[in-house]
Amino acid sequence: MNVLFEDDGQLKAGTLLADHDASVQVEAVSGKRQKIKAAHVLLRFADEPRAGCGIRWWLKQPENRRPDPGATGDGRRDIGPL
């Protein structure tokens, strides 16, 4: 489980290590472990399965490619007269 939390006026993200009633223990992205108040946690979310793939991952998928990348043309589909 991951969390987005506020610390000294900055938004930070980290991995939830322990969850208590009034506080949570978090390992920040930087590697620093912190005990923070539960009220400072803004979001809790599960791991993103494509986190390390990059923002354009879906563009690089085989089903998203033109049938013949070597074909002439400007990449636009011919939709006919308007």
pLDDT per residue as tens digits for the range 32-77 = 999 999 999 999 988 777 666 777 777 788 877 767 767 676 666 6
Amino acid at site 11: L
- Has residue 77 been placed in a domain? no
- Has residue 72 been placed in a domain? no
- Has residue 28 been placed in a domain? yes
Any bridge partners for residue 3, and if so which?
Answer: 14, 44
CATH number, residue 22? 2.30.30.360
Domain count, the chain: 1
- Has residue 40 been placed in a domain? yes
> Using CA atoms, how far apart are residues 82 and 79, in angstroms rounded to an integer?
8
Phi, psi dihedral angles at 23 (to 5 degrees): -145, 160
What is the β-pairing status of strands 10-19 and 2-7? antiparallel
pTM of the model: 0.56
> Using CA atoms, how far apart are residues 79 and 43, in angstroms rounded to an integer?
44
| Structural domain harbouring 49 | 2-64
- Has residue 70 been placed in a domain? no
- Has residue 82 been placed in a domain? no
